[in-house]
Amino acid sequence: MTRKIFTNTRERWRQQNVNSAFAKLRKLIPTHPPDKKLSKNETLRLAMRYINFLVKVLGEPGLQQAGVAARGSILGFFQQAPHLQSMEELTLIENCGVPSPGMSSNIAECWSEVSSP
């Protein structure tokens, strides 16, 4: 009986640590609306897309001089129109810009579009 209690306690502690780590990760991933609670699966998928997006942004030579990375805002990347050259990139700005009240925006889709080859 004591072993079962110890095992349950250890598992509860482990699960609390995992949940705490997910809560910290959720705070780092921009979402719209900002207070949207993501599932663990959504959190991991969006974190991977966000990392790929940031790698691409940091790898763009013109963006570092434009100060997009220093802004700390993903939406700032999409609103910086001067460096865009294709209609596809301009469509991303329209689709990913700040929505008007009552409209929804899925920034995760924008990340996947930006980071896709």
Q: Would you give the distance in Å from CA 91 to the centre of its chain?
A: 19
pLDDT in tens, 45-80: 999 999 999 999 988 776 555 555 455 555 554 444
pLDDT in tens, 16-50: 999 999 999 999 999 888 888 899 999 999 999 99
Distance CA(114)–CA(54), nearest Å, equals: 10
Domain count, the chain: 1
CA distances from 70 to 3, 63, 86 (A): 53, 10, 24
> What residues contact residue 77 under an 8 Å CB cut-off, 6+ apart?
57, 63, 68, 114
* 0.85 surpassed by pTM: no
Domain ranges, residue 59: 2-115
